[in-house]
Amino acid sequence: MDEAKLTIARNFSPKPVGTESVPLEDAYNRILAEDVIAPLDVPPFDRSTVDGYAVKAEDTFGADENHPIALTLCGRVRVGEPPNVTIERGATAETVTGAPLPEGADAVVMFEDTVHRESTVLVHTAVSRGDNVMKAGSDIYKGETVLKKELRLTAYEIGVLAALGVTDAKVYKRPKVAISSTGAEVIEPGKSLGHGKIYDINAHALSGAVIECGGEPINLGIVEDENQKMRTALKQAFSVADLVITSGGVSVGPTDIIPKILDTLGKPGVIVYGIAIKPGKPTTVAVIDGTPVFSLPGNPTSALLIFQLLVRPVIVSMAGRRGERPRTVKAISATRMFAARGRRTFVTVHLAKDKAGRRVAAQVPLGLSGAITTLSKADGYIEIHESQQFIDAKEEVTVHLLKPTFASDEGE
Amino acid sequence: MDEAKLTIARNFSPKPVGTESVPLEDAYNRILAEDVIAPLDVPPFDRSTVDGYAVKAEDTFGADENHPIALTLCGRVRVGEPPNVTIERGATAETVTGAPLPEGADAVVMFEDTVHRESTVLVHTAVSRGDNVMKAGSDIYKGETVLKKELRLTAYEIGVLAALGVTDAKVYKRPKVAISSTGAEVIEPGKSLGHGKIYDINAHALSGAVIECGGEPINLGIVEDENQKMRTALKQAFSVADLVITSGGVSVGPTDIIPKILDTLGKPGVIVYGIAIKPGKPTTVAVIDGTPVFSLPGNPTSALLIFQLLVRPVIVSMAGRRGERPRTVKAISATRMFAARGRRTFVTVHLAKDKAGRRVAAQVPLGLSGAITTLSKADGYIEIHESQQFIDAKEEVTVHLLKPTFASDEGE
């Protein structure tokens, strides 16, 4: 397994596949492809944060409940309009929350602290310079790097972009991932099922897995396990995709043609032919003129687990989600779990809490030949090194989480 | 705050807005609207899990390395085809992984355990009934409730649906949420910014927040703070949306017209007019002939925080994500945090670890009038009850998480 990973890393270095501009309404959950430098101050001008009177602070010094100071009302400032008054000594203008501070003013007195009589405003509270004013640039200052490259855009970052007047975000392109299934027994869901046939699971489940890690799946459907058809399908895949996934057709059976075809399609060709792991032994990896190809086993559990182990990290990097760490939690093994002799073994587990509140990992049997329900029941997997015979009951283990974490999965 | 929540609950009971069928390729991350009952066994027939020979197990009893048992080769079973042989006593047929078990056979002997000589197969290992066979229905049995209503569909559940031959999933519709911003000072990002104007943040940030909780935002843009235009915009919102959000125009200023208009548009009209909270005091809630309307403050931090507190739980329920619990973590308060007198106070915080590895919540100042950067810097908020004066430094607090959890945020 370690050798396979090294070989893949030596032959293909996953990089973002490009950048694109998307309007803010489509930017949610995308990955920023550049640092965003503020082209303006936010707010762009000194704003009143209350309804009241714009003043020179020094004019209010000494004012209190019993000794109001009288100022001359010389106008009114409106929200969304340039002020048409200038505040001289002893003067004031009515203003409202959000309105720009008029020239000459440096503070705002709240309505509640004033009494207004015709053209005179009695101020009952002293204010300091800047009181009830949000200064220009106090939220974001012009020239500031306000959002960093590789950040994932949530509602708040979209808000920051909008505040800057930005209409489009420069984000990483989603890598295109071509997916096909192979095997004389698989047919498309929806068709009627003759004896000996099963519905294709892998292309559909893998499409979901590709979306989850930031890729754009291109489902090429079922390709017959026949030389010319497979060759045509693979060529088509290379023409549209940044990464190719096939599943099925790489068992030890007599119809194992994919690796042979791959070797004729480009350089270096197949770089990993089988891995000493369980499940997933027949996994084949190729690089064809710069495009990685992962040929996964036909059985769904193996295919999806190998996807998580080998393919997901590559797609994540190609999607610009470089900072993403593997998601793991610590748990206590519920029972002894055995490794397959001489192979890195991945045991699917379900997480629960014991009476003492400790997190416990209980094995979800893989079932014969990879039942699809195994993975829908499992929360994650445990890795047992090929040098180990087993993990003992009650041993502390690291569980690699298999599913995206949704809000409902957390909470303490 | 408690009263506001009760009043809202009494006047509007959020329910899923409907269901729709989506093809599997669009089903990722949608919420299942029905229990899925398996219409067939998976696998649909007894399958060989290895390449080898289909046999009657009893014919192999007593076979070992030194005492092979000879069986007569009577045919070959192919993957994806109905078997055209029946296994009688003393007979066998060649088979491969995934092929249906022929009639009469009840086990498969692996190739490695046989020697093949013309029409005779020498079996060197005894097998038991069911060995190397995946029984029909052993993964999913016909009639089983295999996926439960309200489950969120990940790659694995999509795989289960595909296994059943299902092409479309019945999922909850996304509630449509109309969003508008109000205020003479706000203009659309992209336009040039006159003095006194600011770019509209709220409609864009709230759209992202609506997507995050499972809704479909309909951005109606900026509506002028003028009676007839606001009335027209609100009527339009009701005609397209299941829930309406406005922001701005509900301060204590003189141009506060939204609540008055709402009261004329349907029953019961405005049900909450201002809440004793900080921030977000001017929040107004109405129900207009069955459609809830949340009129949030104009300042972005308040608007987005109130969205999390009051609007998000409603949208989540309308999206069928009823089982979703609030996401919270425990932390230690970094400093003393004060409450606003007599108001439920929400303090935005950033999470970090201290030297001892404990999770610490440090206050992110709201800034004057709600800087948008506050929330992009904050991980969550702490609630201080109106009966409390402050939370002390080092006190244990519950932090409500503000952002969707992405893979990169976890790891231990």
Looking at chain A, which residues constitute the CATH 3.90.105.10 domain(s)?
A: 20-41+146-172
**Would you say residue A156 has pLDDT above 50?**
yes
- Measured between beta carbons, the chain A residues lying within 8 angstroms of B358 are none
**Would you say residue A256 has pLDDT above 80?**
no
Residues paired with A187 in a beta bridge: A199
Looking at chain B, which residues constitute the CATH 3.90.105.10 domain(s)?
A: 27-41+144-172
Nearest Cα residue to B348 out of B329, B363, B333, B327: B363
Decide which of 3.90.105.10, 3.30.420.40, 1.20.1260.10, 3.30.70.360 is the CATH code for B27-41+144-172: 3.90.105.10
B257 interface with A at CB cutoff 8 Å: no
Cα–Cα distance, A137 to A44 (Å, whole number): 6
B159/A375 Cβ within 8 A: yes
Chain B interface test: which of A108, A369, A409 (most B C-beta within 10 Å): A369
Closest residue on chain A to B298 (Cα): A98
Looking at chain B, which residues constitute the CATH 3.40.980.10 domain(s)?
A: 2-15+174-318
Cα–Cα distance, A222 to A247 (Å, whole number): 10
**Would you say residue A250 has pLDDT above 60?**
no
A156/B367 Cβ within 8 A: no
pLDDT at B254: 45
- The DSSP line for A249-303 is S-SSSTT--HHHHHHHHSSEEEEEE--SEES-TT-EEEEETTEEEEEE-SSHHHH
| Helix, strand, coil tally for chain B in percent (to 5) | 20, 35, 45
Domain A2-15+174-318 fold is: Molybdenum Cofactor Biosythetic Enzyme; Chain A (3.40.980)
Structure confidence by residue, pLDDT tens digits, B339-352: 999 999 999 999 99
> Which of A195, A304, A410 lies at the smallest CB-CB distance from B405?
A410
Listed by number, the residues of chain B in 197-226 with a beta carbon closer than 8 Å to a beta carbon of chain A are 197-209, 211-212, 217, 219
Peptide bond into A365 cis (omega under 30): no
- Measured between beta carbons, the chain A residues lying within 8 angstroms of B368 are 49, 133-134, 138
For residue B3, what is the enclosing H or E element? helix B2-11
- Measured between beta carbons, the chain B residues lying within 8 angstroms of A44 are 193, 197-198
On whether the A47-134 domain is CATH 2.170.190.11, my answer is yes
B250 interface with A at CB cutoff 8 Å: no
pLDDT at B408: 33
Report how many Cβ contacts below 8 Å link chain A to chain B. Answer: 343
pLDDT at B248: 85
A364 interface with B at CB cutoff 8 Å: no
Structure confidence by residue, pLDDT tens digits, B272-292: 999 999 998 889 999 999 999
Structure confidence by residue, pLDDT tens digits, A67-90: 999 999 999 999 999 999 999 999
Are A46 and A95 contacting, i.e. CB atoms less than 8 angstroms apart? Answer: no
Q: How confident is the model at residue A229 (pLDDT cuts 50, 70, 90)?
A: very high
Residues paired with B70 in a beta bridge: B122
pLDDT at A232: 96
Chain B interface test: which of A376, A399, A403 (most B C-beta within 10 Å): A376
> Which is higher by pLDDT, A221 or A225?
A221
| Average per-residue pLDDT for chain A | 92
B156/A403 Cβ within 8 A: yes
Query: Which pairing describes strands A359-363 and A328-333: parallel, antiparallel, or unpaired?
Result: parallel
pLDDT at B368: 52
Residue B293 CB neighbour total at 10 angstroms: 27
B196/A99 Cβ within 8 A: yes
Domain A20-41+146-172 fold is: Molybdopterin biosynthesis moea protein, domain 2 (3.90.105)
> Which of A28, A330, A371 lies at the smallest CB-CB distance from B412?
A330
Residue A305, SS3 per DSSP? helix
> Which of B186, B372, B410 lies at the smallest CB-CB distance from A139?
B372
Chain B interface test: which of A46, A76, A139 (most B C-beta within 10 Å): A139
**Would you say residue A172 has pLDDT above 80?**
yes
- The DSSP line for B85-146 is -B--TTEEEEE-TTPBPPBT--EEEEGGGEEEETTEEEE-S---TTTTEE-TTSSB-TT-EE
Q: What is the mean pLDDT of residues A246-257?
A: 65
Q: What is the 3-state secondary structure (H, E, C) of B246-312?
A: EECCCCCCCCCCHHHHHHHHCCEEEEEECCCEECCCCCEEEEECCEEEEEECCCHHHHHHHHHHHHH
pLDDT at B257: 86
Structure confidence by residue, pLDDT tens digits, A89-147: 999 999 998 899 999 999 999 999 999 999 999 999 999 999 999 999 999 999 999 99
Nearest Cα residue to A149 out of A169, A134, A168, A167: A169
A193/B165 Cβ within 8 A: yes
pLDDT at B126: 97
Listed by number, the residues of chain B in 135-154 with a beta carbon closer than 8 Å to a beta carbon of chain A are 138-140, 146-147, 152-154
Listed by number, the residues of chain B in 85-104 with a beta carbon closer than 8 Å to a beta carbon of chain A are 96-100
Which residues of chain B fall below pLDDT 70?
249-255, 366-370, 405-412
Closest residue on chain A to B376 (Cα): A156
- Measured between beta carbons, the chain B residues lying within 8 angstroms of A163 are 198-199, 201, 300, 372
pLDDT at B323: 77
> Which of A184, A325, A367 lies at the smallest CB-CB distance from B79?
A184
Chain B interface test: which of A26, A158, A220, A315 (most B C-beta within 10 Å): A158
B193/A25 Cβ within 8 A: no
For residue B21, what is the enclosing H or E element? strand B19-23
Cα–Cα distance, A345 to A339 (Å, whole number): 5
Residues paired with B356 in a beta bridge: none
> Which of B159, B211, B304 lies at the smallest CB-CB distance from A372?
B159
Are B170 and B34 contacting, i.e. CB atoms less than 8 angstroms apart? Answer: yes
Could you tell me the CA-to-CA distances from B283 to B279, B296, B302 in Å, in that order?
9, 5, 9
A368/B201 Cβ within 8 A: no
Are B87 and B93 contacting, i.e. CB atoms less than 8 angstroms apart? Answer: yes
pLDDT at A409: 36
pLDDT at B405: 61
Cα–Cα distance, A282 to A370 (Å, whole number): 14
Sole residue written with tokens 């200052």: A141
pLDDT at A253: 47
Structure confidence by residue, pLDDT tens digits, B241-268: 999 999 986 554 445 788 999 999 999 9
- Measured between beta carbons, the chain B residues lying within 8 angstroms of A193 are 40, 44, 165
pLDDT at B135: 94
B357 interface with A at CB cutoff 8 Å: no
A357 interface with B at CB cutoff 8 Å: no
pLDDT at A327: 85
Cα–Cα distance, A363 to A379 (Å, whole number): 10
Looking at chain B, which residues constitute the CATH 2.40.340.10 domain(s)?
A: 328-409
B412 interface with A at CB cutoff 8 Å: yes
Looking at chain A, which residues constitute the CATH 2.170.190.11 domain(s)?
A: 47-134
pLDDT at A28: 95
> Which of B146, B195, B199 lies at the smallest CB-CB distance from A162?
B199
Q: How confident is the model at residue A367 (pLDDT cuts 50, 70, 90)?
A: low
Domain A328-409 fold is: Beta-clip (2.40.340)
A321/B158 Cβ within 8 A: no
B404/A407 Cβ within 8 A: yes
CA angle B323, B154, A337 (to 5 degrees): 95
Residue B387 CB neighbour total at 10 angstroms: 8
- Measured between beta carbons, the chain B residues lying within 8 angstroms of A301 are none
- How far off is chain B from A52, nearest CA to CA, in Å? 10
Cα–Cα distance, A198 to B159 (Å, whole number): 13
